[in-house]
Amino acid sequence: MLIVAFAAGPWATNCYLVAPGAGQECVVVDPGMGASSGIAEACREHRLRPSAVLLTHGHIDHVFSVVPVAGAYDAVAYVHPADRHLLTDPAAGISPESAALLLGVDYSFAEPDVVCELADGQTIELAGLTFVVDHTPGHTGGSVTFRSPYLGRREAPEVMFAGDLLFAGSIGRTDLPGGDHPSMLRSLAAKVLPLDDAVVVLPGHGSQTTVGRERATNPYLLDLVPAEGH
């Protein structure tokens, strides 16, 4: 499995290109503000052809470039229905500080030509890869993660594209419109804690981690572990 990652835009949002290998079709995960050039560079370097765009949630720092990227490569966009409205109305999900970063930006927000809605537990086959969708509300109502077998990594059974559900040492904020902290804790307990410790977590911001590392050190998960046994 080939995974190309880079941080894009003023929010340093991690964008990922995922493919079985070089010279093949790929999927793009979370093309945020300024991601188009990085995606084009990665495609040239590794001879990749994007066929789908996976969105972990609808916040503008994760979806800003979905229309130009999907249009440039004739790719299908995937989003949970609870966050679909944010593709055309991103201001509905951001803070005043984030809105200020958009002042003077000449950009008209719209949906890509083809949008497919995601469901909890759904398995999708894209670019020769398999992804399991887990609905993980809390950061937004339509937040999801994507889990895929980590091909070629015997020590890691899966890789999870976590969006803003789980970070190294922290979790996504829940104080934005559509956020809900109790829902976030339920998502972490139901969708993260049952996973194998060796699952690699590729978050929406910051460095990669593993489920085991977060289970042992992340204060938000540590608070959930005692309750798990009751």
What is the model's pTM? 0.92
Q: Is residue 224 within 8 Å of 185, Cβ to Cβ?
A: yes
> How many domains is the chain partitioned into structurally?
1
- Give the residue-averaged pLDDT of 146-175: 92
Distance, in Å, from the CA atom of 20 to the CA atom of 2, rounded to the nearest integer, reads 6
Residue listed under structure tokens 């922290």: 170
Between these two residues, 90 and 68, which has the higher pLDDT value? 68
> Given this model, what pLDDT does residue 106 score?
57
At 83-137, the pLDDT tens digits run 999 999 887 767 666 666 555 565 668 899 999 999 999 999 999 999 999 999 9
**Is the pLDDT score of 230 beyond 50?**
no
- Give the residue-averaged pLDDT of 25-37: 96
pLDDT grade, residue 204 (50/70/90)? very high
Nearest partner of 31 among 2, 72, 1, judged by Cα:
72
Structural tokens at position 2: 């080939």
Query: How many other C-beta atoms can be found within 10 angstroms of the C-beta atom of residue 182?
Result: 9
What CATH number does residue 6 fall under? 3.60.15.10
- Give the residue-averaged pLDDT of 162-179: 95
**Is the pLDDT score of 195 beyond 70?**
yes
> Given this model, what pLDDT does residue 225 score?
78
Range of the domain at 50: 2-228
**Is the pLDDT score of 177 beyond 50?**
yes
Strands 158-163, 76-79: pairing is unpaired
Between these two residues, 35 and 89, which has the higher pLDDT value? 35
> Given this model, what pLDDT does residue 229 score?
44
Phi, psi of 18 (to 5 degrees): -125, 130
pLDDT grade, residue 228 (50/70/90)? very low
**Is the pLDDT score of 227 beyond 50?**
no
